[in-house]
Chain A
């Protein structure tokens, strides 16, 4: 239809450039058009005799517009407009035809056995005969890599992955010396990368194609929307946790055809189901995010499978599960607990942590004015001089609990160390309520006031030995710190029924950015009980009581509430505290590729970046593969070391990074473990619907066009408009376009008809 009115196909106008062939100056054209329009306006508005029929204002405007348009068209035609467009020379160019042969192309297509058979049929019937009349064609298949093939015959969709990125780059590189006029890509757009945000063509590849002016025409196969399908889109999970910790994964899923139904999410470690729960499915195609909590279990490198149970009639069940590597550590994290007076809270906190193999409390208790009773120490020297005054001593702990201790018990040096402990070292400090704690201990006026997550109240009589009941805030309902029961609603009810606290202290009001997890009711007052915040690289919290021990003594024997709460609170306190060596990698799940960058941040005993360390990684992989690599200092970040390595085989890998000082003899600074996994052929199971958006973007960005398989008859002709390869610019005059003649006739005719209707001829 477009070509019927405009004589030429769309690419002539979209890719070409408008020129005026007349020798008259171009600037004169708009001047004359404006002058003509003004003259017509003057003619229409000039006073005329009373006998002349009058036009109303808007009718005058319509007549003026039509007459001006007519004069304008005539003037434009006098300047001889034309389009110049690059056009491939016949029989001198190559069209690269690229056919996706990944496994997703084997899925059924509308009315055909598979997407691949639809594509081959389109090639053989509609595309290749037309192209080969004017061009040479070069046939490629694209899966994990680009491969040239003689013809579409015998191509089978067996490739385990689709790497459009690297395939197009390879094509551009390999044909840089050839007169390739255009690329024709037949695919479902299933660029691999099951994780969200990875299904795009990289800007570098697009830029390379644009530099060569190489248009990519895409033909999309497959339904853009699945009929009946559940799909796990992504699983967000921490790289690891301490043994038996409560862990929350965030699962993103999508469904088609099951709106309003229920489905069961689960997480499994091998054959063992760690947790599962039902979810209500949201509208078709909408990304749905669901949390799933589970216990990390025993220590070890694990491969967790997150899945959604298939529903009846589901077309593709291979995308219902996704795996993630997960490292459960049994390293004991040491927490320093300083308590200013013997009290029951101290005893029951220690007892709660007796049941947690991942946390060890090292405590110093002021039993008398000049005596300190130490527990949990690793040597007689530990804390023998009281609270640490050197960074290397204090920073050996991962968390600190400050009980009923006045601020002035700490020297200015120790106070600064406490701040550094949180801010720079990344540790956690928990402040408890008590007769010498918080505002009653002079903390509001201390230099560490900004470390606290609340604005402390005035005065020093804010601690009361009166009962207070507790209640979760909305943020506390499903917080991993306060989760006594998995169901948030039941969890809230459980907290309301907990025994009352033996005492409480008014902690003031939470600071902006702090999170209030638990409230307490003391008489008619409602006060924050548990408030947390991030501070610098670490975190701080206030638990404004010394009386949670009643939960242990007054609840039924065997009730886990007290111990579970304290274990969760202290794991939160130290769970994210880094060690001297922190190993990481940009992606722990490698899909169909083995390249990995291992990064280690190394700090010395003062937790300053260690610039001269020797860092090695011992990597253990599948089939007992074993490698030791050296990490080299990063030029950009002091104390950071990195190495590139390739995981050759699919499977689970574990890398232990060890840093040693450069002195003689070398001393170990620390070590860390990171796990990662290479998966081959899994990604093709995901995102199986046609990614039309990606194909349209690729075509538009390179000057090509997206084509429907059912509308390919103009493709061989339109593909010839390209500036790549061997092309010549041709000039297409526009004066004889049918639309011009229609306007020249239609405008005066329209005016006459309107005037006749208005009775003002």
Chain B
């Protein structure tokens, strides 16, 4: 394929992905569409679609051995939907069975007080986006971040976080923290690896040898950002039905995710 044709193909694919993303992010359940795919519910599994540094370098997305993907959409949507199945079976939360993608482009995000973000070492914010996320968290929104590993990823994550909450310290969570006791009492946590564990046997990626359960609190001590560093809960949800992926990791990931949601809906 000639370079010119390749560029056109990439542009067309990017446009298609963009249109698809726009369709998912428009009218977040508060419109008049009563179709089952857009059913209204109390809880929406809301995945944050952020603009990434990678996107800035490489366009809207990039290509890997799995096909087209965006940094924010790792494990999407299978992880989300499998988690929602577990949530429906194990809690009384009335949640929509399909996920919801939200962005920081508009105030629509304020309709979704719980959001989930992955690969946050790649996120970057404009000033307006950072302010919107800061307002969101200070008003009562809750953010769970997952799937970033090692020292470099941490620094990149914190670069974005300092734009949002520059004065708020990050602290390690302990087993006694309330967030681990809302639905399940999780006292013995472990590092939850991604799918790569199946063929490498390693629970870590990059230099993220130790799991870091961390959080940022508001001025009243309530957790507003729950940080799962050196872990990949999303993969554990996504591959929970894979016989090669250990059930122990998957079960722990579900319990942690449910505890975090209940915490986000009660604090």
Contact A373 B92 (CB under 8 A): no
Bound Cα distance from A546 to B42, whole angstroms? 9
Cβ < 8 Å to A, chain B residues 176-224: 182-183, 220, 222
Contact B94 A341 (CB under 8 A): yes
Residues of A within 8 A of B140 (CB): 347-348, 351, 549, 552-553
Contact B183 A368 (CB under 8 A): yes
Bound Cα distance from A350 to B266, whole angstroms? 8
B154 at the interface (CB under 8 A from A): no
Residues of A within 8 A of B136 (CB): 553
B126 at the interface (CB under 8 A from A): no
Cβ < 8 Å to B, chain A residues 342-367: 342-344, 346-348, 350-351, 354, 365-367
Bound Cα distance from A486 to B138, whole angstroms? 27
Bound Cα distance from A553 to B266, whole angstroms? 15
Residues of B within 8 A of A342 (CB): 42-43, 91-93, 261-262, 265-266
Residues of A within 8 A of B139 (CB): 552-553, 557
Q: Which one of B48-56, B74-82, B106-114, B155-163 is at the interface?
A: B106-114
A435 at the interface (CB under 8 A from B): yes
Contact A341 B93 (CB under 8 A): yes
Contact B113 A347 (CB under 8 A): yes
Residues of A within 8 A of B182 (CB): 367, 373
CB proximity of A621 to chain B, nearest CB, Å: 41
CB proximity of A18 to chain B, nearest CB, Å: 89
CB proximity of A436 to chain B, nearest CB, Å: 10
Contact A466 B113 (CB under 8 A): no
Residues of B within 8 A of A341 (CB): 42, 92-94
Bound Cα distance from A181 to B262, whole angstroms? 89
A369 at the interface (CB under 8 A from B): yes
Residues of A within 8 A of B265 (CB): 342-344, 346-347
Contact A368 B90 (CB under 8 A): yes
Given the contacts A341-B93, A367-B91, A466 and B40 also touching, CB distance less than 8 Å? yes
Chain A CB within 10 Å, residue with most, of B110, B220, B265: B265
| Per-position 1/0 for A405-437, Cβ under 8 A of B | 000000000000000000000000000000100
Bound Cα distance from A375 to B91, whole angstroms? 18
Which chain B residue shows the least CB distance to A435?
A: B94
Cβ < 8 Å to A, chain B residues 227-267: 261-262, 264-267
Residues of B within 8 A of A465 (CB): 40-42
Contact A367 B94 (CB under 8 A): no
Contact A367 B262 (CB under 8 A): yes
Bound Cα distance from A238 to B223, whole angstroms? 40
B171 at the interface (CB under 8 A from A): no
A550 at the interface (CB under 8 A from B): yes
CB proximity of B84 to chain A, nearest CB, Å: 14
B30 at the interface (CB under 8 A from A): yes
A554 at the interface (CB under 8 A from B): yes
Bound Cα distance from A409 to B209, whole angstroms? 48
CB proximity of B106 to chain A, nearest CB, Å: 12
Residues of A within 8 A of B97 (CB): none
Given the contacts A343-B265, A344-B265, A347-B267, A367 and B111 also touching, CB distance less than 8 Å? no
A340 at the interface (CB under 8 A from B): yes
A274 at the interface (CB under 8 A from B): no
Which chain B residue shows the least CB distance to A559?
A: B139
Which chain A residue shows the least CB distance to B178?
A: A375
Given the contacts A341-B42, A465-B40, A347 and B111 also touching, CB distance less than 8 Å? no
CB proximity of A368 to chain B, nearest CB, Å: 5
A371 at the interface (CB under 8 A from B): yes
Residues of B within 8 A of A368 (CB): 90-92, 183
Contact B113 A557 (CB under 8 A): no
Q: Given A368-B91, A552-B140, list of 9 further CB < 8 A pairs?
A: A342-B43, A342-B262, A465-B41, A466-B40, A550-B111, A553-B139, A553-B141, A554-B110, A557-B139
What are 26 sample pairs from A and B whose C-beta atoms fall under 8 A apart? A341-B92, A341-B93, A341-B94, A342-B91, A343-B42, A343-B43, A343-B265, A347-B266, A367-B182, A367-B183, A368-B90, A368-B92, A371-B183, A373-B182, A373-B183, A373-B266, A435-B42, A465-B41, A465-B42, A466-B40, A467-B30, A502-B111, A549-B140, A552-B139, A557-B138, A557-B139
Interface residues of A (CB under 8 A from B): 340-344, 346-348, 350-351, 354, 365-369, 371, 373, 375, 435, 465-467, 502, 546, 549-550, 552-554, 557
Nearest 9 A/B pairs, CB to CB: A465-B40, A553-B110, A341-B92, A342-B265, A557-B135, A342-B93, A343-B42, A554-B110, A368-B91
